[in-house]
Copies of this chain bind each other. A is one copy, B any other.
């Protein structure tokens, strides 16, 4: 945790940004909720518990900054709010998502499954891939096993 914050601090400083207390508090919330997909408002509420004076605009600005630095990815599941997803440190690719149409759960696939597909796209479409977004919509393992009618 502390080491991770330290690396983010160095990343900020290398672009002459400061790791202010507000920014640190925000990063801590993101690290503590690594598996969740928090909206800006969610983050705001959680940061307020530890740092009540923080303003909503600061949270938005920090999340924007972290997105620029590729510390987080900004994603959208179509529910009207952007969500912020911590990237795995050192991971070359953004992880994939499984969205359950039944219960709304969002699970993650950290393993990269797109290697072959990306090779094909680069060759056949002459498109140089920098990043990707892959989401599957369906029925998760929990809903699947609990529903005998499927």
Binding site for B on A (CB under 8 A): 74, 76, 78, 82, 98, 101, 107, 109, 113-114, 116-118, 120-121, 125-141, 144-145, 150
Complex CA gap A128/B120 in Å reads 25
Residue of chain B at shortest CB distance from A78: B76
Q: Are B98 and A127 in contact (CB under 8 A)?
A: yes
Q: Select one of B107, B127, B133, B150 contacting A134, CB under 8 A.
A: B133
Q: Are A140 and B113 in contact (CB under 8 A)?
A: no
Min Cβ gap A127→B in Å is 5
Residues of B within 8 A of A140 (CB): 127
Whether the Cβ atoms of A98 and B125 lie closer than 8 Å is yes
